[in-house]
Amino acid sequence: MDDKTNALREHVKGIFSNLELVLGWEPGYDPLHTRPFYVRTESDIDRLTANCLSFQNLTRYLAKSMNAVDPAADGRKIGVCVKGCDSRSLVALIQEKFVSRDRVYVIGLPCRGTLDARRIRALVPDPARIRSVNAEGDELVVETDRGISRFALDRAIARKCLQCRYPNPVIHDVLIGDPVTPRLKIDAENPSVAAVEALSLEDRLLFWENQLDRCIRCFACRNACPLCVCQNHCIMETRMPKWITQYRNMNEKFMFHMIHALHLAGRCTECGECERVCPVGIPVALIKEKINAIIYEMLDYESGIDPEAVPPLLTFSPKETGI
Amino acid sequence: MTELNPYRPEMATVIEIVEETHNIRTLRVLLNDPEKMKAFSFQPGQVGQLSVFGYGESTFVINSPPTRRDYLQFSIMQAGEVAGRLHQLNVGDQIGVRAPLGNYFPYENMKGRDILFVGGGIAMAPLRTLLLFMLDNRKDYGDITLIYGARTPNDFCYTYEFDDWKKAGASLILTVDNEAPDWPHRVGVVPKVLAEEAPNPKNRIAVTCGPPIMIKFALAALKQLGYADEQIYTTLEKRMKCGIGICGRCNIGEKYVCIDGPVFSCAQLSAMLPEL
Amino acid sequence: MSGKIFVAHDALSGLLDDLSKKFKVWIPQMMDQASGHIAFGVYAPGKKPELTRRSRLSPKKILFPSMDTLFKFTYVKDPKDPVRYTIDLKESFDNGPTLVFGARPCDTRGFQTFDQVFLKGQYKDVYYERRRQNTLFATLVCQDSDTACFCSSVGSGPADMTGSDMAVIPIEGGYVIEGLTDAGRKLVETSGSAPSPEQAAAAEQMKRNTAALKIGEDDLTGYADDLTRRFTDMDFWREQVSPCITCGVCTWVCPTCYCFSITDEASGMSGERMRSWDSCMFYLYTLEARGHNPRPTKMERYRNRVGHKFSYFPKKYDGMVSCCGCGRCIRTCPVSIDIRKVVKELKETADDRA
Amino acid sequence: MSSKSDAKQEREIKIVGFLCNWCSYGGADTAGVCRFRQPTDLRIIRIPCTGRIDPLMIVKSLIQGADGVLVSGCHPNDCHYAVGNFYARRRMEVLKRFLPYMGFQSDRFRYTWVSASEGQIWQQVVTDFSETIHRLGPNPGLHQTVDSAPAVSWF
């Protein structure tokens, strides 16, 4: 995303009196990080940022940290900043009635991609002390203690962004900035999924085992996901029913990720948060992307596009044949 | 294994089961090793971790008094996995016991004073151990009064012992939350009855135990009656795993309920961080 | 002998080969190239220690595995009376000689927290004790801090060798390894040849220079009472943890977070009791069987995490902060919560913030 | 899951069958009453309806080492609860297409529709599935450690 900080602040200042709070981003602990930010007072607005580091999907807070269903007594709304991918999560939450459309004021931010901190660390010679990170056109400029490095933006943005099909918010009350051309066509094949499928069956198993073996069961992927809504009742943590033991072996790790993926079948909007937050670098979203591809092919459905649609695995059609 | 492993339970056998109410049952157990049973020593208020192997471990107070050593008694309310399993055991079944753990009621300091027990429901268990201990050393203590409340007349534990308690010199005030047919005793929640009874705080120690909400109002009622913080003792409950001050979850500030508790005086509680 | 040896860069694998015959040697290594994931793994010939970049996961699992069997149990039926049975308990210990090579000072120092809780309390944790007694630490004098590092803020530093048996000092062309404890010196002396006087001097210089570095701006010790004062200021905690997603990453990567759960896993007539890492950031961590939870929201849970490290622990253990300043929680936090900032703001008054 | 040839036929094959109470369980019963010859590998778990099937039950069975998983229910439009198998059909088809992506042999999982009167068809279904599984051999399960794995580069 290009830097839209000023435009965003200006807009929020204009409408803040009608809003209860605004979910946005502020700078994190260093120039490579960003923190989700609740704008609660007028004076907070100047802390807002919106740029290529605004990676967090803020809609998760709507579903998990507040009541975004019932209208406020004074009619004020919750403002939420969304990128293209985030807006799909929002649609999915509206579909499933975790958020009501009237309760939120959606600030749409067309996005050319968010940065992947891990890729940047691998690209710059001195990743320890990064002073600033800025996107200038198609170039990323990173300033460290040892000097300035420039490289193509595409080398530093997240995997999900390189295969982005919805860079522009699918719903919004206001759009800040001009719409962006998608990198891939809507019906394009998912290139990462294809790369995994190019492996033999045996190799695919080894590939996933090798990836999932690193899992430390921290549940960051689950908790960051806007659509993992079971929260404290997740079957990963309960002993009744007992789907998962406390063993930290391959079976349990594999099972955990299958649970996560299958519970999101037909619901995942590919915001990539699960993958970004993973402390051990497992391409978690890649599992769900395949399920999405199957559902697109089989049922011609994509999650998070139409607020009126019903997720396909929560409904049926008696007529369908071929399955 | 020569060194002491604090995580290793002693094997014990269930020798008797008393069904107290529809969801509370009492287990009487004996350690399998007669030497260890003989040498077993504990103080009123200390707890034990009961294991059902394959299900886990859970904490219960030893509610038989140290003065009666025929068996160790635990009362269990059905809640959670381990307690649920304990409710399915039969006489002769094997369980694991790690005991005694935690601190105990400072009964030495209570000598020569009047005692007021205030309890609700299953929380009679920790009070029973101290009550019986005092009744067994009756001459050391003054007046002993017990206010015991339950939701309905069917929710009282140890009803079969009430007469013995009275005979041994305790006065009993029973109460249920709501009117019930043929209920000859008091009606009303424990704090209300406590306020009505108004036991004189002079030279008296109050020991209270019950669900968090009852404790909250009982403490308020006691203070209203003029009890000082130092005169009130209560026991706390937290989720516990190790029971030996290591695993970390039962802390209130720097205090660990498993080793610094479960018995606290109200004075200690007010010095602690408010996180119950 | 001086208790020091010099190991050239190209001789390092040879040394590790030798050591791995006597010890289970753990080294930081690259686990996944694509994501740059570095963690501690067991050395095997051919594996390269990753000593120039920080590991993302701490070495705490070496002494405190994420899953550890306390004992195995078997229900043994009485052949004469099939209703009767006995239970056979077998404790299991896994504690061969172990060497941790290339941990940073913060990593090694993390175990000081464990020592207090597991060894010096009313009860001794025998599982930890046995591993601890059989483990040596060869700790790297740390050369590369980043923006999340703050070891000097918690009373440590990049050359702090607390709890280490050997110091691994990087110099031109290789490493000088210096024995610090008896066991360390003994091992060093049998593992190589002494450095030249120039190399020894370079190592001394390197140690001095590193020790003079100050990593982290503020002193974060002495906040015990500030937390108490702030305890009920829920607006403060709400502001600090609004972005928190209550994942357990900070506790999982932390070298000093030691909380655990104990559970039974069984199938059929046998099973085991084990302990596994648990996180104070989880709702179920304090949830009681009857449904009451003393820390129902992330505010109480995060308050406990900060409080435990910077207030409760120092109060209990003579001022010692149970944080080693490695910065992992900051680096891996998905929402960039900075524990340094939270602790510092404990001191501020409501007026300061306005 | 790769089948190692030397592991083949070393142990008894175990197939988990999730059978709908109203149709396939009855079908299996009919087959038994009619004394149709059937393979003995199947361990049947009776379920109230295929709509009760959570795809995770199938995944868990496969991960825990079941050699095959067979789900069978009422024919579409014949569900005792009217629509349960319509839901199930979608879920199971998604799973079936998804399994190979994770490296599972999708042939180890099959879903079919058999009514209570179709004893003969039940015999064919079970025999055929059992033969398929015998051809695949025992399920080797997941590798507990991975020494070397193929790298995938997407960009």
Q: Tokens for A10, please give them.
A: 């200006």
pLDDT of residue D2: 43
Residues A139 and A256 in one domain: no
Choose, out of C33, C61, C147, C234, the residue to mutate when testing the contact with A (most A CBs < 10 Å). C147
A230/D contact by beta carbon, under 8 A = no
Residues of A in contact with C67 (CB under 8 A): 246-248
Residue A75: how many CB atoms within 10 A of its CB?
Answer: 9
pLDDT of A126 > 80? The answer is no
CATH number for position B38: 2.40.30.10
Residues of A in contact with C32 (CB under 8 A): 210-211, 214, 280-281
- CATH number of this structure's domain D13-136, picked from the four choices 3.30.70, 3.40.50, 3.30.160, 1.10.287: 3.40.50
Are A313 and D94 within 8 A, CB to CB? yes
In angstroms, the separation between the Cα of residue A299 and the nearest Cα of chain C is 33
Residues B120 and B220 in one domain: yes
Tens of pLDDT, residues B127-140 = 999 999 999 999 99
Are C249 and A279 within 8 A, CB to CB? yes
pLDDT of A5 > 50? The answer is yes
Three-class DSSP category at C276: strand
Determine what percent of chain A falls in helix, strand and coil, rounding each to the nearest 5: 35, 15, 45
D149/A contact by beta carbon, under 8 A = yes
pLDDT of residue B265: 92
Residues A140 and A37 in one domain: no
C72/B contact by beta carbon, under 8 A = no
Residues B81 and B125 in one domain: no
Residues of D in contact with C33 (CB under 8 A): 151
Residues of C in contact with D151 (CB under 8 A): 33-34
pLDDT of residue B276: 77
Measure the CA angle with vertex D20, ends D18 and D23; round to 5°. 135
Residues of C in contact with B237 (CB under 8 A): 288
Tens of pLDDT, residues B54-93 = 999 999 999 999 999 899 999 999 988 899 999 999 999 9
Tally of domains in chain B:
2
Q: Which domain holds residue A130?
A: 119-156
Q: Domain for residue B63, yes or no?
A: yes
Strands (E), A125-165: 130-136, 139-144, 147-152
In the structure, what pLDDT confidence band is assigned to residue B7 with cuts at 50, 70 and 90? Answer: very high
Residues B31 and B141 in one domain: no
In angstroms, the separation between the Cα of residue D140 and the nearest Cα of chain C is 20
Tally of domains in chain A:
2
| Ordered strands of the A174-175 beta sheet | A34-39, A19-27, A77-82, A104-108, A174-175
C93/B contact by beta carbon, under 8 A = no
Dist. CA C190–CA C172, nearest whole Å? 23
Which residues, numbered 23 to 82 in chain C, qualify as contacts with chain D under a Cβ-Cβ cut-off of 8 Å? 33-34
Are C121 and B246 within 8 A, CB to CB? yes
A–D CB contacts, 8 A cutoff, strictly below: 129
Three-class DSSP category at B172: strand
Residues B74 and B120 in one domain: no
Residue of chain A nearest D100, judged by CA positions: A201
Strands (E), chain B: 10-19, 24-31, 47-52, 56-61, 72-77, 94-101, 114-120, 144-150, 170-176, 186-187, 204-209, 232-235, 251-252, 255-256, 263-265
Contacts of D23 (CB under 8 A, 6+ apart): D72, D73, D74, D75, D78, D80, D113, D114, D115, D116
In angstroms, the separation between the Cα of residue D40 and the nearest Cα of chain C is 23
pLDDT of residue C238: 92
Q: Domain for residue A319, yes or no?
A: no
Checking D125-131 for CB contacts under 8 A at 24+ apart, the result is: D125/D70, D125/D72, D126/D17, D126/D28, D126/D31, D126/D38, D126/D39, D126/D42, D126/D70, D127/D38, D127/D39, D129/D15, D129/D68, D129/D70, D130/D13, D130/D15, D130/D39, D130/D41, D130/D42, D130/D68, D131/D39
**Structural domain ending residue among the three candidates A129, A156, A183:** A156
Q: Domain for residue B189, yes or no?
A: yes
pLDDT of residue B2: 44
pLDDT of residue C354: 47
Choose, out of C336, C337, C343, the residue to mutate when testing the contact with A (most A CBs < 10 Å). C336
Contacts of C138 (CB under 8 A, 6+ apart): C99, C100, C101, C102, C103, C164, C165, C166, C167, C168, C177, C184
Residue of chain D nearest C33, judged by CA positions: D151
Residue of chain A nearest C293, judged by CA positions: A232
| Nearest Cβ partner for A316 among D86, D146, D148 | D86
For the four alpha carbons of C196, C198, C204 and C210, in that order, the dihedral sign comes to negative
> Secondary structure of C89-153 in the HEC alphabet?
EEECCCCCCEEEEEECHHHHHHHHHHHHHHHCCCCCCHHHHHHHHCEEEEEECCCCCCCCCCHHH
Pinpoint the alpha helices (H) of chain A. Answer: 5-15, 59-64, 84-95, 117-123, 159-162, 191-197, 201-212, 220-224, 250-263, 273-277, 285-299
Q: A130 with A146: CB under 8 angstroms?
A: no
**Structural domain ending residue among the three candidates B49, B77, B101:** B101
Q: A51 with A4: CB under 8 angstroms?
A: yes
Residues A151 and A240 in one domain: no
Are D153 and C34 within 8 A, CB to CB? yes
pLDDT of residue B91: 93
pLDDT of residue B83: 92
Are D104 and A265 within 8 A, CB to CB? no
Q: D26 with D47: CB under 8 angstroms?
A: no
B–C CB contacts, 8 A cutoff, strictly below: 137
Nearest one of A147, A212, A146, A161 to A52, comparing CA atoms:
A161
In the structure, what pLDDT confidence band is assigned to residue A238 with cuts at 50, 70 and 90? Answer: confident
Residues A152 and A260 in one domain: no
Angle, helix D24-33 to helix D119-136, in steps of 10 degrees: 100
Are A218 and C247 within 8 A, CB to CB? yes
In angstroms, the separation between the Cα of residue D91 and the nearest Cα of chain A is 6
DSSP 8-state code for residue B34: H
Give the neighbours of chain C: at least 3 Cβ pairs within 8 Å. A, B, D
Choose, out of D89, D136, D142, D153, the residue to mutate when testing the contact with A (most A CBs < 10 Å). D142
Dist. CA C324–CA C309, nearest whole Å? 10
Mean of pLDDT values over D44-50 = 95
Q: Tokens for D74, please give them.
A: 């009422």
Residues A145 and A20 in one domain: no
A294/D contact by beta carbon, under 8 A = yes
Choose, out of B1, B259, B275, B276, the residue to mutate when testing the contact with C (most C CBs < 10 Å). B275
Give domain limits for chain D.
13-136
Q: Domain for residue B247, yes or no?
A: no
Contacts of A90 (CB under 8 A, 6+ apart): A59, A62, A80, A82, A99, A104, A106, A171, A226, A304
**Structural domain ending residue among the three candidates B73, B101, B129:** B101
pLDDT of D7 > 80? The answer is no
> How do B144-150 and B114-120 pair as beta strands?
parallel
Give the neighbours of chain D: at least 3 Cβ pairs within 8 Å. A, C
Q: Collect all residues from C whose CB is shorter than 8 A from any CB in A.
A: 31-32, 34-37, 39, 56-57, 66-67, 144-148, 242-243, 245-249, 252-253, 261, 263, 265, 274, 276, 279, 282-284, 287, 330, 332, 334-338, 341
In angstroms, the separation between the Cα of residue B167 and the nearest Cα of chain C is 35
| Nearest Cβ partner for C87 among B56, B94, B237 | B94
Residue of chain C nearest D151, judged by CA positions: C34
Residues B231 and B162 in one domain: yes
Q: Domain for residue B269, yes or no?
A: no
Residues B18 and B120 in one domain: no
Q: Which stretches in chain C have pLDDT values below 70?
A: 1, 349-354
Are C73 and B54 within 8 A, CB to CB? yes
- Residue A54: CA atoms inside 13 Å, Cβ hemisphere, count? 29
> What is the percent of chain B where pLDDT is above 70?
99
| Nearest Cβ partner for C122 among B8, B247, B259 | B259
pLDDT of residue D1: 45
- ipTM of the modeled complex: 0.90
The rounded Cα A122 to chain-centroid distance in angstroms is: 22
Tens of pLDDT, residues A153-211 = 888 999 999 999 999 999 999 999 999 999 999 989 999 999 999 999 999 999 999 99
pLDDT of residue A322: 59
Are A191 and D97 within 8 A, CB to CB? no
Task: Work out the burial of residue A96: count CB atoms within 10 Å of its CB; fewer than 13 is exposed, 13-18 middle, 19 or more buried.
Answer: middle
Task: Work out the burial of residue A173: count CB atoms within 10 Å of its CB; fewer than 13 is exposed, 13-18 middle, 19 or more buried.
Answer: middle
pLDDT of residue A64: 92
Are C35 and A281 within 8 A, CB to CB? yes
pLDDT of residue D8: 47
Per the prediction, chain A carries an average pLDDT of 92
Residues of C in contact with A37 (CB under 8 A): 242-243
Judged by 3 or more CB pairs under 8 A, whether C touches B is: yes
Instruction: Please give the backbone phi and psi of residue A54, each rounded to the nearest 5 degrees, phi first.
Output: -80, 65
**Structural domain ending residue among the three candidates A98, A131, A156:** A156
Residues of D in contact with A266 (CB under 8 A): 94
Q: Which domain holds residue B33?
A: 10-101
Residues B147 and B51 in one domain: no
D148/C contact by beta carbon, under 8 A = no
pLDDT of residue A313: 92
Judged by 3 or more CB pairs under 8 A, whether D touches B is: no
Residues A199 and A300 in one domain: yes
| Nearest Cβ partner for B6 among C85, C123, C261 | C123
Tens of pLDDT, residues A77-117 = 999 999 999 999 999 999 999 999 999 999 999 999 999 98
